């Protein structure tokens, strides 16, 4: 959709990758929810926050970690270990850092132009969160 195809996204700081990844992930979630059943915007917003909050992103990346290749794990770890100037208000610091790593990975794949792998990872994370939610409601 957009011209990205950056030759070497590793040259970007992990927080810059996370900045781009945050937007990509948010758009992915909003699109998935809009393509589902018709809901009022307030319910769409509430549903989207259950996927994009730090805890959810942390859970998602942990659920798919064994499906990431070595390079993807390295990008994730760079993002997770980056020192952000912001402190989470409503999130555990560990979840926040893991979420930043996940967003860095998403941003990396997006800027690299690897849309096929990006979609695989986003789809896996979405499914993992749905499975986690189903497990929570079954208990």
Catalytic residues, by residue number, are 22
Go through the chain and tell me how many residues it has. Answer: 139
Q: Which residues are CB-neighbours of 54 under 8 A, at least 6 positions away?
A: 88, 91, 92, 95, 96, 98, 99
With residue 96 as reference, give the H or E element that holds it.
helix 93-112
2: helix, coil or strand? Answer: coil
């Amino acid at each position: 959709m957009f011209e990205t195809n950056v030759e070497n996204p590793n040259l970007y700081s992990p927080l810059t990758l996370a900045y781009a990844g945050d937007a990509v992930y948010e758009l992915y979630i909003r699109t998935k929810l809009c393509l589902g059943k018709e809901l009022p915007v307030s319910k769409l917003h509430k549903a989207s926050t259950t996927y994009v909050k730090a805890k959810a992103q942390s859970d998602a990346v942990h659920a798919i970690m064994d499906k990431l290749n070595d390079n993807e794990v390295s990008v994730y770890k760079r993002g997770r270990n980056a020192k952000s100037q912001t402190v989470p208000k409503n999130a555990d610091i560990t979840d926040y850092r893991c979420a930043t790593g996940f967003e860095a990975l998403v941003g990396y794949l997006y800027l690299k132009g690897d849309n096929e792998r990006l979609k695989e990872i986003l789809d896996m994370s979405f499914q993992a969160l749905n499975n986690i939610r189903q497990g929570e409601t079954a208990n």
